[in-house]
Amino acid sequence: MNINNIHKNVGNNLVIQGVAKVNVYNIENDVEDIVSVSEEPMNLGKIKNEIKHYIESGEYERQIEDVIKKAMKHIETIHHKVTNPAVVLDIDETALSNLKFYMDNNLHHDWQKWEQWKSGLHATAIKPVLELYHLCKKLDVKVFFITGRKNSYDDVKNTVLNLEKEGFTNFDGIFFRKGDEAVGKHKLDSRKKIEEMGYTIIANVGDQMSDLEGGYAVKGFKIPNPIYYVPFSYK
């Protein structure tokens, strides 16, 4: 007996194969006298549905495109006004999207599956950001990636391969995070290093405020991230 048959027969005494005889009652759900708290707390199931709608409706993509268009316009306007112009890009959810990983895991970050995902080079280029990358190449603006991914052999190899596979080829440098270094400190120190190398960072693009805080860039561009939050940490 399948579940449809059970529904059709509610109200009857049923004999379900493999189950003792049960009485199934069909009670009208019209309870009016409900005691509850004055305001329900946020609800994870509802929030996840709203986030999925934001993504699946195309709004997420549209909002990324809006910010990146502004960044491209800024780069075109300013690149010839400074010496050695450079652009900084974050990787996860900025240059590369892991959206499929999160959607397949019901927006949950499963650390074991995350390692498999990275080594499988499954992340895909965020198209407007790839377009911005090509613009930089065309204008001879240097591009440096600064990522919170760690400088382990596997992370370095898989990240570079994934970037190249998705079209981010011939970039000018990439900064990985050392050991347990704080994310904000790593991002800030890496930008400082780029400027010490003689470049002017005309645009810094990331999906977290912690990618952008602390200066060492003419302008920061924050694209949305509906899935996770990385606080700025300096210690």
Strand-strand pairing, 200-206 and 220-222 = parallel
Nearer to Mg ion, 75 or 205 (CB): 205
Inter-residue contact 196 to 77 (CB < 8 Å)? no
Nearer to Mg ion, 95 or 136 (CB): 95
Q: Taking the complex as a whole, how short is the minimal distance between the CB of residue 225 and Mg ion, in angstroms? A: 7
Inter-residue contact 89 to 144 (CB < 8 Å)? yes
Token pair for 83: 């010496």
Nearer to Mg ion, 90 or 166 (CB): 90
Nearer to Mg ion, 147 or 200 (CB): 147
**From residue 64, how far is each of 5, 61, 71, 161 by CA, in Å?**
48, 5, 11, 24
Look at the alpha carbons of 149, 151, 156, 158 in this order and tell me if their dihedral is positive or negative. negative
Q: Taking the complex as a whole, how short is the minimal distance between the CB of residue 230 and Mg ion, in angstroms? A: 7
Q: DSSP characters for 183-219?
A: HHHHHHHHHHHHHHTT-EEEEEEESSGGGTTT--SS-
Inter-residue contact 202 to 86 (CB < 8 Å)? yes
Nearer to Mg ion, 79 or 227 (CB): 227
Q: DSSP characters for 34-48?
A: ----SSPPP-HHHHH
Nearer to Mg ion, 194 or 227 (CB): 227
Q: Taking the complex as a whole, how short is the minimal distance between the CB of residue 175 and Mg ion, in angstroms? A: 13
- Please give the Cα distance from 168 to 64 (Å, whole number): 18
Q: Taking the complex as a whole, how short is the minimal distance between the CB of residue 206 and Mg ion, in angstroms? A: 6
Applying CB under 5 A, the residues found at the interface with Mg ion are 90, 92-94, 207
Q: Taking the complex as a whole, how short is the minimal distance between the CB of residue 145 and Mg ion, in angstroms? A: 11
Q: Taking the complex as a whole, how short is the minimal distance between the CB of residue 60 and Mg ion, in angstroms? A: 14
Residues paired with 175 in a beta bridge: 146
Q: Taking the complex as a whole, how short is the minimal distance between the CB of residue 217 and Mg ion, in angstroms? A: 16
Nearer to Mg ion, 52 or 222 (CB): 222
